[in-house]
Structure 1
Amino acid sequence: MKYYTYLFIVGLVSLFELIFSIVQAQDVQKQQKPNFIIIFTDDQGYGDLGIYGNPTIKTPNIDKMAIEGQKWTNFYVAANVCTPSRAGLLTGRLPIRSGMQGDSARVLFPHSKGGLPSTEITIAKLLKQQDYQTAIVGKWHLGSLPQYLPTRHGFDYYYGLPYSNDMDKVDSIPYVKAITKPKNEYFRVPLMRNEEIIERPVVQNTLTERYTIEAVNYIKSHQKTPFFLYFAHSMPHVPLFPNERFKGKSARGTYGDVIEEIDWSVGVLLNTLKETGLDKNTYVIFITDNGPWKLFKELGGSSGPLYGAKGNSYEGGVRVPAIFWAPGSVEPGQIAELGSSLDILPTIASLSHAALPKDRIYDGYDLTEVLKGLTSKSPRNEMFYYHASKLVAVRQGAYKLSFYRNNEIGYPDQLTKLEKPQLFNLNEDIGECYDIAGKHLDIVQALEELALQHQKTIIPTESQLDKY
């Protein structure tokens, strides 16, 4: 009897050891999964960073990030304004596939009845299936009704604004005055934590600083679990509210003050990762949502060498700065290949070993091999430029074929169908100055066919932005 008792105890101990080793292995596996941080600015131009050629705005932290990581120079967002661009980033799908585009309303407003459909799978939803903790700090702008908030789209935690910082304006204040001489009380924009309003109107002068504190606290409290942090700055979208510590510091004026505070924020985040040792296992991506809002002149940003701005699909409206940083994982260098915010979801899926659903069309590519330096060739060789529901241009390789003309500063919309498409070699003519369609009819024909075949994949979907 004692012998069998002994065998039972030995077996029980062995079983506990086995269970412990399995749990321990799972914990190690969780720790080994990479973390992901996307830093997403609002209305920042291609030419608004030192590393992208700005001569007066000082961005030493972002510049260092680019030197230590990969700087992409042919990187595109999914749309030329806020809401559809953000939908494309988080879903890996062109906004027209999810209904996150509108012909009468280009973005969502506080009174909008629509938002990102629950059927869409965000990066956060995808990573939740891989046991990630997920958070958004900053601007959402994909629906402000309860059923559309980040907490309904895979995010465990939300701290930020539900839409742009110029919305919910007090009716008695003229818009131009509110933007050029802003006061916090001119805008009834709410600051939210999860699904609760905690401040209204939000004090915008300290918003970037408070976002940064929230992001740092989130990183420090999630050192032992894999996490995804979507850090979406509300600025430099107008109205500009510089922090007192940065006000008047930049040679570029108020706009420069705001960008330099964002650069400070990036430095704080990267230093936090280094101090906690998480830099060894964290991918940080820095991009912006669309081009600069040139309508507001010096209060808006710069497209640098590009033509166009927010609100149109010239290069200045949709080509953005993009930096990937992960010491030991991302091969440093400058990438002139094509990339897009649409590629971020498939790339994160690959790096986290998450399987993409097979029941929908994705418009992104996995950039993992380029990031790791395993190849110099991007899997993306084309880009489709949408203005709301209209396909206005298509790019393949160096060549871009434009079907429409628009206002150079983006507003008001003056979208006009061209009698003949215009062709540009963007490698030789980055400013879209010289139409060479007459010299390359074969390329024009090939790009027209590419556009036609692409449009056959689009299934008409109800616009969420045109719901009032």
Structure 2
Amino acid sequence: MHIKLKSLVSKLLVFIIFSTTGCQYNRVNTKKRPNIIIFFTDDQGYADVGCYGAEGFETPHIDRLASEGVRFTNFYVPATVCTPSRAGLLTGRYPKRYNLHEAVLFPFSEGGLSLNEYTMAEMLKDNGYTTSIIGKWHLGHKEEFMPNNQGFDQFYGVPYSNDMDHYYYKDIDFQSPPLPLYRNKKLIESGPDQDYLTKRYTEEAISQIKSRGKKPFFMYVAQNMPHTPLHASPAFRGKSEKGLYGDVIMELDWSVGEIVKTLKEQNIYDNTIFIFTSDNGPQIGSAKPLRGKKAQTWDGGQRVPAIVVWPDNIPKGIVSNEFTTSLDLFPTLAKLSGSRLPHDLKLDGLDISNYLLHPESIKLPERPFYFYARNGDLEAIRMGKWKLHIEKSLGWPLDKNGAFPVSLYNLDVDIGEKNNVAGQFPDVVAELTHRVKEFEMELQ
């Protein structure tokens, strides 16, 4: 009798838990939960994709992907450089919240993404997904911070940027080792030939897709390219009119195509959410017609190409001007995968799942977005059509113009941030400045 009573109580508790967390589930049929692939490139600019206006090279596979889902023209990342942008993607939270917002991690760094942070991989793994990362991690190379301790079942790739390969940091007299290539926690190669990294990552992704189990999978393909130094395999060298940079992008496009082709051959493409985007603006590529580049809080540093496809559920051929960010992917994928989230988890991203499913009938709300510079300072805010810059550490010739003037731009009519209208709209300047101060106080 005691055992039966205990069983009854347990069942009642389970019923209560699922009843109170039911709002965390999406109405999409979760009996056949989607596979999820995030294809994340490194330093690929806003105009470094054919359908975004690329010149000198073609990206037919990415363009075809865009025609099969939603292509965003107002998609931002929460940082101008690698580490904090990747942290924001995987946590749905501003990196300032866990002190990973300044610069990037180096081979001599001791820290990494806090183990107190709940990653996208942990969320999906906790809800029945297998999880893997292929490519660049850059959230801490010490074992405690590596992917297998952050929710990923599998890791095949490198712990930081390809330019850190055997690099000598003369200011601190530190010699980096040859770029380490890992499979899970095991170092399998030192200083791999970078000409073949894109190809090897692609082959690994294909292999994992073909050998998948019965569970839905989450795959984070974080390519090293087109971060400098540029590398392409012999099959792609000389392919483009834009030299090696164009060759590199064309190989990344090939990679997207090979993965999509495999998904189709395995008859799982229609129920796979495929997301293509970049970690920040370009170092040597193009962000036209945006102002600025990587490491700058002008839009060229943080507005990036982004495409979301899910053939079974997302309409085709949508070009969206709605404001969205990589922080939105965490809560959105939680909803679309039918996953539960901890009740005390504070996310900065917005669940845009209903918009993705019905982009022609839903409008997203206006909300503030904060731009943190490479030095860790909060330099700008966007709200609706307005973007206010309050200071500038990079991308402004201080030696010629003196102190940076508070600058306001109407991005609806001035996408290149050329016409400062702060003097014409003092109320907007005051309101956005107040929001910046409030947000900084919140994060102290």
Residue 134 of structure 1 is matched in structure 2 by 131
Indicate whether 1:208 and 2:198 are aligned.
yes
Distance 1:78 1:404 in 2: 17
Tell me whether 1:302 sits opposite 2:289 in the alignment: no
- Match among 355, 362, 367 for residue 381 of structure 1: 367
Aligned-partner residue type, residue 376 of structure 1: I
Aligned pairs (5 A) from 1:283-432: 283-293=273-283, 300-332=284-316, 333-373=318-358, 375-379=361-365, 381-387=367-373, 388-408=375-395, 420-432=405-417
- 1:188 deviates by 1.1
- Displacement of 1:170 in angstroms is 4.8
Q: Any idea what the Cα deviations from partners look like across 1:43-76, whole Å, max 9, x if unmatched? A: 0111111100012211000001011110000000
Structure 1 counterpart of 2:257, from 267, 271, 274? 267
Q: 1:69 & 1:417 partners in 2: Cα distance?
A: 46
Q: Which amino acid aligns with 1:281?
A: N
Listed one character per residue, the Cα deviations across residues 135-191 of structure 1 (whole Å, up to 9, x for unaligned) are 000000000000010000000000001000010335499xxxxxxxxxxxx971011
- Superposed, 1:430-445 pairs within 5 Å as 430-445=415-430
Corresponding residue pairs, total: 407
SS, match of residue 406 in structure 2? strand
* Number of the residue aligned with 1:98: 98
Report the 3-state secondary structure (helix = DSSP H, G, I; strand = E; otherwise coil) of the residue aligned with 1:456: helix
Residue in 2 aligned with 1:217?
A: 207
SS in 2 for 1:134: strand
Question: Retained in 2: the 8 A contact 1:208–1:261?
Answer: yes
Match of 2:173 in 1: none
Q: Structure 1 counterpart of 2:273, which letter?
A: Y
- Distance (whole Å) between structure 2 residues aligned to residue 266 and residue 240 of structure 1: 18
- Consecutive unaligned residues in structure 1, runs of 5 or more: 1-28, 174-185, 294-299, 460-468
Residues 234-245 of structure 1 mapped to structure 2, 5 A cutoff:
234-245=224-235
Match in the other structure for 2:51: 51
> 1:158 and 1:290 mapped to 2: Cα distance?
23
Aligned to 1:216, what secondary structure does the other structure show? helix
Cα distance in structure 1, aligned partners of 2:167 and 2:338? 47
Give the match's secondary structure for 2:322: strand
* Aligned-partner SS, 1:404: coil
**Alignment partners' CA distance in 1, 2:312 and 2:142:** 42
Q: TM-score of the superposition, structure 1-length normalised?
A: 0.83
Shift of 1:325: 0.8
**Counterparts in 2 of 1:170 and 1:346: CA distance versus 1, 3 Å:** closer
Instruction: Name the counterpart of 2:188.
Output: 198
Letter in 2 for 1:428: V
Alignment partners' CA distance in 2, 1:187 and 1:301: 28
> CA–CA distance in 1 between the matches of 2:251 and 2:165?
25
Letter in 2 for 1:37: I
Taking only the aligned residue pairs, the percentage that are identical comes to 46
Q: What is the RMSD of the two structures over their aligned residues, measured on CA atoms?
A: 2.1
> Counterpart of 1:354 in 2: which secondary structure?
coil
Change in 2 beyond 3 A, CA 1:170/1:445:
closer
CA distance in 2, matches of 1:50, 1:379: 29
- Output the CA distance in 2 between the equivalents of 1:292 and 1:170: 22
Separation of aligned partners in 2, 1:356 and 1:145: 27
Measure the CA separation in 2 of the matches of 1:420 and 1:316: 19
Counterpart Cα distance in 2 of 1:381 and 1:330: 24
Deviates more, 1:365-374 or 1:205-214: 365-374
Deviant stretches of 4+, over 3 Å: 170-173, 416-420
Secondary structure, aligned partner of 2:394: coil
Structure with the greater alpha carbon radius of gyration = 1
Shift of 1:85: 0.4
Give the secondary structure class of the aligned counterpart of 1:328: coil
Asked if the contact 1:403–1:418 (Cα under 8 Å) also holds between the matched residues in 2, the reply is no
- Alignment partner of 1:447 is 2:432: yes
The amino acid that maps onto 1:35 is N
